[in-house]
């Protein structure tokens, strides 16, 4: 399987990445972000995609999402989202499509890796130097997760729901987890997996996918998030 090919799996969360061409900005002003977020939720509902986490940055967007039906619905969803954003970009900024040719996708191993991918996505503004804290960045799902918006359009994965009995309990546990941040090996594994269209997860997950689908999709990264750090609401991350 080459790095240009995408593997989409039924019933799995996927880390999705859509990047702009070099030097191009997709989201230039506040209204661009507002429009993008509205499209995210509208098109996810239309195409049967459960959104778990998202972050819009000036030159790219990251999503964590699970297809509710045929996994190729993710591609339909991403194509529709890309086209609608590009259309506004052309009308608003008098410019051609800002996107690179293809989006990237990485199926995520259920369990600890799903929480790690959520944390990776919602910490991106900090890593990019756009905010000193995830809470201060308005163009991601993090403020929604903390209950700071009028409605809650996210679909929490089972891994997140196990963090507490109530929305408040889960948000408090996750806030502590995100504040601590990821190990550099975790960050490297998640980032390279999505950019290479590889699996995000352990060698066991790679083997399971190979045995079931006949596809070898190795990222050549660390085996799993480190064991020594305690995950919120569980014995391990």
What is the block-wise mean pLDDT of the chain (237 residues), using blocks of 10 residues? Answer: 73 95 86 93 96 96 96 94 86 78 94 97 96 95 91 94 93 95 94 94 90 72 44 36
Say if 98 falls within a structural domain: yes
Could you tell me the residue range of the domain that residue 74 belongs to? 14-213
- Burial zone of 56 (CB within 10 Å; 0-12 exposed, 13-18 middle, 19+ buried): buried
SS (H, E, C) 80-119: HHHHHHHHHHHHHHCCCCCECCCCEEEEECCCHHHHHHHH
Say if 185 falls within a structural domain: yes
- Tokens at residue 156, please? 């929490």
Say if 21 falls within a structural domain: yes
Say if 232 falls within a structural domain: no
Say if 219 falls within a structural domain: no
Give pLDDT, residue 98. Answer: 80
Strands 14-19 and 49-57, bridge-based pairing:
unpaired
Give pLDDT, residue 119. Answer: 97
Q: How many domains does the chain have?
A: 1
d(CA 120, CA 215) in angstroms, rounded, equals 26
- Tokens at residue 17, please? 């990445």
Question: What CATH number does residue 31 fall under?
Answer: 3.30.70.1290
Say if 201 falls within a structural domain: yes
Say if 197 falls within a structural domain: yes
């Amino acid at each position: 399987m080459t790095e240009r090919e995408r593997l989409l799996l039924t019933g799995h969360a996927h880390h999705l990445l859509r990047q702009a061409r070099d030097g191009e900005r997709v989201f230039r002003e506040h209204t661009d972000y507002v429009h993008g977020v509205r499209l995210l939720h509208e098109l996810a509902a239309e195409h049967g995609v459960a959104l778990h986490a998202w972050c819009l940055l000036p030159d790219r967007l990251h999503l964590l999402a699970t297809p509710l039906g045929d996994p190729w619905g993710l591609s339909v969803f991403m194509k529709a989202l890309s086209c609608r954003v590009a259309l506004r970009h052309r009308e608003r900024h008098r410019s051609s499509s800002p996107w690179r040719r293809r989006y990237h996708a990485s199926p995520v191993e259920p369990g600890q890796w799903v929480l790690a991918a959520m944390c990776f996505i919602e910490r991106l503004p900090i890593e990019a130097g756009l905010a000193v804290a995830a809470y201060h960045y308005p163009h991601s799902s993090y403020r929604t997760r903390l209950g700071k918006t009028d409605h809650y359009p996210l679909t929490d994965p089972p891994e997140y729901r196990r963090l507490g009995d109530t929305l408040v309990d889960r948000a408090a546990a996750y806030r502590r987890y995100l504040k601590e941040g990821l190990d550099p090996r975790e960050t490297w594994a998640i980032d390279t997996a999505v950019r290479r269209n590889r699996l995000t997860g352990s060698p066991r997950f790679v083997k399971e996918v190979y045995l079931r689908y006949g596809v070898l999709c190795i990222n050549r990264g660390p085996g799993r998030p480190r064991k020594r750090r305690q995950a919120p609401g569980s014995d391990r991350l």
